[in-house]
Amino acid sequence: MEPHGAANAAQPLGTGRSPELRVADVKQYLYCPRVIYYHYVLPVERKVTYKMQVGREEHVEIDRLEKRRKLGRYRLAEGERRFHVALASPQLGLSGVLDLLIVSPAGYFPVEYKVTTGGPALNHKYQLVAYALLVEEAFGAVVRSGFLYLAPRRELVEVPVTDNARLHTRRILGAIRRIIAEGRLPAVRHRFGRCRDCEFLNYCGDVERRGGARFLQGGMAPRHEAQAVTQVEEGDGDVLPE
Ligand code: SF4
């Protein structure tokens, strides 16, 4: 079985399957597949963390500043900005609210704001591609690229929306649905640093709390999940895998 499952573009993963997924699930799955488990399979209490609160406040401020800026920084001469666009795809069984959609004669460009001090992360990029899929279905258009706005760095990063990126995103949706359907705690393989600030840390009793140590637990989980996470880590750079 190939990483992220056997889904393919000719066989839409969302068709006839439940539950409805959120675009945020794509981001969270790539951060850690157990977040999906704790949301859909064994829902646990979630608190609004300080980080989440700061993120919400920052989004309001970014909206305010964005309205005053020119589209030249997107290399566009003209266009219309649409903020907080609700999008849904019956075909993919996926929905979400996009921070910003630029509609211009040059095409449709989804934009996501990120309040992160690091560079563009792989999970942010695939979240953006998932939005691109929704825009394509909603407007009957082809999205060639989108943008991540990294607020603390005031940096705009263009993300190409390639066929491979579309296919990979569909595979991620398939992997998420398998976690939900199988109802088993997924195996994970990443550094403990990722767990340190995780709101679910108290529920992951098998995590090794040694800084920098790798861990691999959940032996009952299907092998493809461990492979999926490993593959994502290997490509965890600034470039979408082709
Ligand atoms: S604590 Fe670690 S293993 Fe558990 S959900 Fe968070 S990131 Fe995943």
What is the DSSP code string of 117-160? SS---HHHHHHHHHHHHHHHHHHT----EEEEEEGGGTEEEEEE
Per-residue model confidence (pLDDT) at position 209: 64
Whose Cα sits closest to atom 4 in ligand 1? 204
Pair 34, 114: CB distance under 8 Å: no
How many whole angstroms from 52 Cα to the centroid of ligand 1? 17
pLDDT score at 242 = 24
pLDDT beneath 70, residues of the chain: 1-18, 208-242
Question: Which protein residue's CA is at the shortest distance from atom 7 of ligand 1?
Answer: 195
Cα–Cα distances in Å, from 157 out to 25, 47, 92, 132?
A: 22, 31, 26, 15
Has residue 229 been placed in a domain? yes
Residue 184 within any structural domain of the chain: yes
Does any domain span residue 1?
Answer: no
| 58: CATH | 3.90.320.10
Distances (CA, A) of 50 to 66, 82, 135, 197, 231: 24, 28, 31, 11, 31
* Distance (Å, whole) CA 12 – CA 32: 24
* pLDDT computed for residue 136 by the predictor: 98
Look at residue 51 in the predicted model and tell me its pLDDT: 73
Q: For position 83, what pLDDT does the model report?
A: 96
Look at residue 157 and tell me if it is in a domain: yes
Residue 47's pLDDT is: 72
Q: Is the CB of 23 under 6 A from ligand 1?
A: no
- Domain span at residue 116 reads 21-234
Q: How many domains does the chain have?
A: 1
Q: What integer pLDDT is reported at residue 62 of this predicted model?
A: 87
Cα-to-centroid distance, 9 and ligand 1 (Å): 30
What pLDDT score was predicted for residue 4? 33
C-beta neighbour count of 173 within 10 angstroms: 26
pLDDT at 57: 80
Residue 134 lies in a domain: yes
Residue 172 lies in a domain: yes
- Is 219 inside a domain boundary? yes
35 lines ligand 1 (CB under 6 A): yes
Q: What is the pLDDT of residue 206?
A: 80
Residue 6 domain-assigned?
no
Q: Is the CB of 34 under 6 A from ligand 1?
A: yes
The reply to whether ligand 1 has any atom less than 6 angstroms from the CB of 221 is: no
Enclosing H/E stretch for 25: helix 23-31
Q: What is the pLDDT of residue 239?
A: 29
